[in-house]
Amino acid sequence: MILRVILLHTSLWIHIYAKPPQKEDGAWTVGVFDRSSVMSRDGCFARLPIAHLVYNLIPPMGNIPSLLTFEEVVTVFHEFGHALQRMLTKQDDGLVSGVQGIVWDAVELSSLFMEKWCHHK
């Protein structure tokens, strides 16, 4: 199942379920395009970012729903934090926008912030 979410004119593609023969552990966020004024079409406005989220969750089977463990819920929130950082950046230089070219602590800040929503009511 693949979803497309449009958030403030940026695109987020979400691949929720794993394909059993290729299932890998974990989840990840991939930047298809980072925000960049260099790569814009008209030279005036920055090209807006597009991100993919791959979650690798177990799909439902027949009438049995796909229920997430607490760790999977935390992973969903964590990776969504990375996607938000990619999509909501205001930096027009593609080499240092979103999660590109910045220190690792800054990359993890948004994702760890999102994780906190899982641990507190």
Catalytic residue annotation: 79
Sheet holding 50-57, edge to edge: 2-7, 10-17, 50-57, 28-33
Q: Which of these, 28, 117, 116, lies nearest to 79 by C-alpha position?
A: 28
Residue type for 1, please?
A: M
DSSP states of 45-79 as a string?
Answer: SPBPPEEEEEEEEPPPBTTB--PPPHHHHHHHHHH
